[in-house]
Chains A and B, each alone.
Chain A
Amino acid sequence: MGYNQDPNVQPAALSGEVTMPAALAEVEPVQSVRTPAAIEYIATPGASLSAYLRAMKDKKILGDKCPVTGQVFVPPRGVSPVSGQRTTEMVEVADAGYVESFNITRLPIKSRPDLNPPYVSAWVVPDGANVGSISLVAGIEPEDVRIGLRVRAVWKPDDELEESAANILHWEPTGEPDVVLDDLRVIGKPGDAQ
């Protein structure tokens, strides 16, 4: 097609000097463009996560059990991140647990106008699970939240339940004595995976 085949020579289309047509000489230059982009997906969460989401509708929390170490992971992913093995057994964990760590957020988030700072995001480990996930803790002054605090899930009203982790609005203190973390568990010991 007449193109130069030598990779070291610039293509003809790029070699000349670029000049604006005279008709555009007085036109205001474009400072910015807006090119909205959106792609829709149908997410297929897979076997384990599907079971977890379905159970959420019945106010149950399911986890995956590692076939090698026996550790329980919530939310389940279908594979043990410690042994790398496919998990085959799902177990129900409690909708009560403890705060493993937390932060106090003092800045508003645009996508969550329902959250009024300051609020507490916590890493909550349900009883029966070896890992936790990020959750909100409410019903307590942020300054009073602490590692080891016992909490229980506050669910949406029954008629609003969906196949969604959003069914848990937040976790609130149970009033039980704090747990001592040293007694509980050690995740990901190299020995566990062998």
Chain B
Amino acid sequence: MRDIAVVASMQRQEKSIDNESEVEYMVPLMHGVKESIGITQADVGFTCSGSSDFIAGQAFSFVMTVDGANPVPPISESHVEMDGAWALYEAWVKMQMGEIDIALIYGYSKSSGGSLRDVLATQMDPYYVAPLWPDAFAIEALAARQLIESGKTSMEHLAELASRARDHAASNPNAVRTKAKSVADIMAEAPLMDPLRPSDIPASADGGCALILAAGDRARELCERPAWIRGIDHRTDAHTLGVRDLTTSMSARIAGEQAGVSDDKVDFAELYAPFTTSELVLTEALGLGDDTIINPSGGALSAHTMMASGLIRIAEAAQRITNGDGDRAVATAGSGPNLQQNLVCVLEGE
């Protein structure tokens, strides 16, 4: 395996970005991340992005954002209709083949223009489920109910997770839900999708993230302390909700095993957990213990930009390693209802 590291990242998340189009607000990130380490698009061997036409409400919406990648003369480029974390995975695979040393990855969405809870219904089974337009929060509430009834968690425990996310988010300039709230105050919240309360659900945001991967010595040249990808894997659970146990995540567990999460101590984890319940499921599936700080950025509960949220988890974890806040981190990305698909990435400093 080739050594590949995250050497730079840049993100922007806001409750809604009203006066800029996706490409208008992504260009400063796509250019800024390259400028931050002194490279240009000519140094980039592969450019890969993640976004969704269903969220943009526009066909081939990603093409306009490619304009911002400086594609003249033509560049080697690809796009996934997925979270940017899967764009990173595609780039990582391409880099393993040894033909390129630097890749630009970005993911973004501006979901404020539509009802994301309805848009997400379109990812469900098109014959039996999608025609009912199930609300995305209600779908997760099914898992929450099972988790509580099975005794795996309680409303109090979920409130603790929500309260802690707010505390962590206070020091994150990109978080949008940063107001501290005690467990008691969260317990007093009226349920939104019973049993889920407003603090249990993601703080939806518009925005995006751009990130640079570099291989071997090129990474060491560009970054004082690169965040090396020591393991990365992604797995998918069944699409039909009824055939899987929503209180656990087999896909996250297997991806975590393949990525080598438990090979050594994990200092902190950035988990793609839009809901308090998803954090609970992922922490257990990955076998993370009390010695691991969970979501030091505040996580997706504090700022959740669809199609970038997973990539941002990797960026947040990598930045902390580069900063020297820890030596070993886990980042995850997710897709589909109830954590259907999970990507697990293990990052280490040298």
Contacts and interface: CB of A to CB of B under 8 A. Distances in A.
B75 to A, nearest CB: 10
Contacts, number: 108
Nearest to B114: A41
Contact of B21 (A35, A49, A85, A193): A49
Contacts of A39: 54, 57, 114-115, 118-119, 122
Main SS class of interface, A: loop
Interface string A28-63: 000001010101111111111110000000000000
Given A44-B110, A77-B21, A190 B127 contact: no
Contacts of B245: 1, 3
B335 interface: no
Contact of B27 (A33, A41, A43, A85): A85
A5 interface: yes
Interface residues of A, number: 36
Contacts of A89: none
B242 interface: yes
Nearest to A80: B67
Nearest to B238: A11
Most buried by B among A33, A79, A85: A79
B73 A3 contact: no
B336 interface: no
A1 B146 contact: yes
Interface in B180-198: none
Contact of A47 (B19, B118, B119): B19
A81 B146 CA distance: 50
A47 B22 CA distance: 11
Nearest to A84: B70
Contact of A77 (B23, B41, B114): B23
Contact of A33 (B127, B150, B250): B127
B130 A83 contact: no
A188 B146 contact: no
B24 A86 contact: yes
Given A35-B127, A46-B20, A190 B73 contact: yes
Interface residues on B, range: 35 or more
A81 B72 contact: yes
A22 interface: no
B207 to A, nearest CB: 14
Nearest to A189: B72
Contact of A11 (B21, B41, B130, B243): B243
B231 interface: no
A144 to B, nearest CB: 34
Interface string B1-28: 0000000000000000011111110011
Nearest to B20: A46
B254 interface: yes
Given A13-B242, A193-B73, A42 B24 contact: no
A91 interface: no
B289 interface: no
A78 interface: yes
A7 to B, nearest CB: 6
Contacts of B240: 13
A82 interface: yes
A50 B24 CA distance: 12
Nearest to A83: B70
Interface string B225-268: 00000000000001010111101001000100000000000000
B93 to A, nearest CB: 22
A14 to B, nearest CB: 6
Nearest to B206: A44
B126 interface: yes
8 contacts: A1-B245, A7-B254, A13-B242, A41-B113, A42-B113, A78-B24, A83-B72, A84-B68
Interface of B: 18-24, 27-28, 30-31, 41, 54, 57-58, 64, 67-73, 110, 112-115, 118-119, 122, 126-127, 130-131, 146, 150, 238, 240, 242-245, 247, 250, 254
